[in-house]
Amino acid sequence: MSKPWPPSEEQIQNIASSALDQSQDKDVNVLIYWENNPNLMIFDPIHYADTKYIKKKFAHNERTVLVTIGKVD
């Protein structure tokens, strides 16, 4: 089931936190497609669909996470 676009700031922060928990990298880069499967995280993405995107970067301790959310894949 799809979620309303665009995701809220809280939802984006939750994705960032989850990505940091799932990766040991110092600088994390994660992509999700919101309307397809917002629970599927693609780490270090290479290819991007032709869709609308939201990008947010967060810092936590000495780590960073770049969250890219595409509307649809």
pLDDT at 2: 56
Encode pLDDT of 58-68 as tens digits.
999 999 999 99
Cross-strand partners of 69: 32, 54
| pLDDT class of 53 with cuts at 50, 70, 90 | very high
CA distance 52 to 62: 30
* Residue located via tokens 């939802």: 11
pLDDT at 63: 97
Q: Nearest-5° angle of CA 59, CA 62, CA 68?
A: 35
Both tokens of 20, joined, read 């940091």
Encode pLDDT of 25-39 as tens digits.
999 999 999 998 889
